[in-house]
Amino acid sequence: MRECISIHIGQGGCQIGNACWELYCLEHGIQPDGQKPSDKSMGCGDDSFETFFLETGAGKHVPRAIFVDLEPTVVDEIRTGTYRQLFHPDVLITGKEDAANNYARGHYSVGKEIVDLVLDRARKLADQCTGLQGFFVFHAFGGGTGSGFNALMMERLSVDYGKKTKVEFSIFPAPQISTAVVEPYNAILCTHSTLEHSDCSFTYDNEAIYDICRRNLDIERPTYTNLNRLLAQVVSSITASLRFDGALNVDLTEFQTNLVPYPRIHFPLVTYAPTVSAEKAYHEQLTVMEITYASFDPANQMVKCDPRHGKYMSCCMLYRGDVAPKDVNASIASIKTRRTIQFVDWCPTGFKGVT
């Protein structure tokens, strides 16, 4: 078994984690108390989901995850929420005072006191794995804990688990939306200090996700719950090939191999299509070709930028659902004929399609 451990850091990381595990449980037919009724066995004997869940002798499924925040409010919501029985109490770790949006507090003063405890919990989770693949680290670049403590944590993980893949899911500060004036400083300090320790970092920004919620889901005033649930769908789709059997299963190292041309350039742009509201979902029929074209539309990107002004170095297309590989190949062949999507000259055919 190729297990993955998820580490959720700071308010942003923990709240996204909450949404992700809620969705994983729904996808795998696991109840909020960790039980999996036999009649709801969705995978029909497929145990690939054990990369993310540990099954105990009593038949309970426990997430291979750690939630860390330097102040208790957000993690307390998990301790008292619907999924309180799902998580092992030892993996919900909190300090007493927050990092106050200050990178230095998260990295040097407050964070230093708690990092050994977190690493000890990570070691215990790693001991329960038969073949640990790597770590997923969820955090926001703008906060003190998400930037400072995350940088410290990544440094220590590199020392203890040097050969394991470390994939980040990071929320970057958005151009127009800001919760703290020091967000750009935290983001720059964190990016600089984690550059050598992260193998692949999927980036998102709140403004782009707000726009998708407004435009595609018809939500007039999106809340963080809406944003996190949309993000959870994206994370779930990225990790689906690790949790389910598919035509072409992807290993954690494969993301890195296919998407990262040079070790320091490891910030792939995430695009998700289609994003359809519940009301419209059963009234629309999209072809593989349409979804493929939509995934190159800047309106569906998780970051506010326009890649049409530049060139692609690599591209990994992950298809989910009842998709035939021949349709994927036809869509990619069609995309290659379009002049709008250009690759750098040293990587002429940088596509990988996975169903």
Mean pLDDT of 115-136: 95
CATH code (residue 304): 3.30.1330.20
Same domain, 232 and 328: no
151, 282: one domain: no
Mean pLDDT of 326-355: 80
19 lies in the same domain as 151: yes
The CATH code of the domain that includes 238 is 3.40.50.1440
Where among 259, 286, 315 does a domain terminate? 259
Q: Is residue 270 part of a domain?
A: no
Region of poorest pLDDT, from 34-43, 251-260, 283-292: 34-43
Q: How far is CA 176 from CA 11, 216, 226, 241, in A?
A: 20, 20, 19, 34
Residue 39 has pLDDT above 80, yes or no: no
Its pTM stands at: 0.93
113 is catalytic: no
CA distance 279 to 273: 17
Residue 336 covered by a domain: yes
Residues 155 and 227 in one domain: yes
Are 206 and 328 in a shared domain? no
Does any domain span residue 86? yes
Question: Which residue segment(s) compose the domain that 188 sits in?
Answer: 3-259
Instruction: Kindly state whether residues 212 and 308 are assigned to the same domain.
Output: no
214 and 333 assigned to the same domain: no
What residues have CB less than 8 Å from 147, skipping those under 6 apart?
Answer: 103, 106, 107, 139, 140, 141, 186, 187, 189, 190
Which of 52-56, 276-280, 310-314 shows the lowest per-residue confidence on average (mean pLDDT)? Answer: 276-280
Domain boundary among 259, 294, 314: 259
Considering the domain architecture, whether residues 255 and 288 belong to the same structural domain is answered as no
Split at pLDDT 50, 70, 90, the class of 309 is confident
- Under 8 Å between Cβ of 272 and 234: yes
Which of the following is catalytic: 254, 279, 284, 290?
254
- 345 or 250: which carries more pLDDT confidence? 345
Mean of all residue pLDDT scores within the chain: 89
3-state secondary structure of 308: helix
Cα–Cα distance for residue pair 31/171, rounded to 1 Å: 29
The predicted-structure confidence for 67-125, as pLDDT tens digits, reads as follows: 999 999 999 999 999 999 999 999 999 999 989 999 999 999 999 999 999 999 999 99
Residue 272 lies in a domain: no
Lowest mean pLDDT among 63-72, 125-134, 292-301, 330-339: 330-339
Dihedral sign computed on CA atoms, order 94, 96, 101, 103: negative
Tell me whether residue 264 is in a domain. no
Q: How many domains does the chain have?
A: 2
Residue 44: pLDDT over 60: no
Q: Using CA atoms, how far apart are residues 248 and 226, in angstroms rounded to an integer?
A: 31
Instruction: Find out whether 51 and 4 touch, Cβ atoms under 8 Å.
Output: yes
196-255 tens-digit pLDDT:
999 999 999 999 999 999 999 999 999 999 999 999 999 999 998 888 876 566 777 887
Domain co-membership, 167 together with 284:
no
Whether residue 326 contacts residue 286, with contact meaning beta carbons closer than 8 Å, is answered with no
Domain identity same for 206 and 347: no
Residue 99 maps to a domain: yes
Residue 246 has a pLDDT of: 64
Q: Is 240 found in the same domain as 146?
A: yes
**Residues 180/144, Cβ–Cβ less than 8 Å:** no
The region of weakest confidence among 83-87, 185-189, 281-285 is: 281-285
Q: Tokens for 72, please give them.
A: 């208790």
Question: Is position 273 within any domain?
Answer: no
Is there a domain that residue 271 lies in?
Answer: no
Same domain, 137 and 208: yes
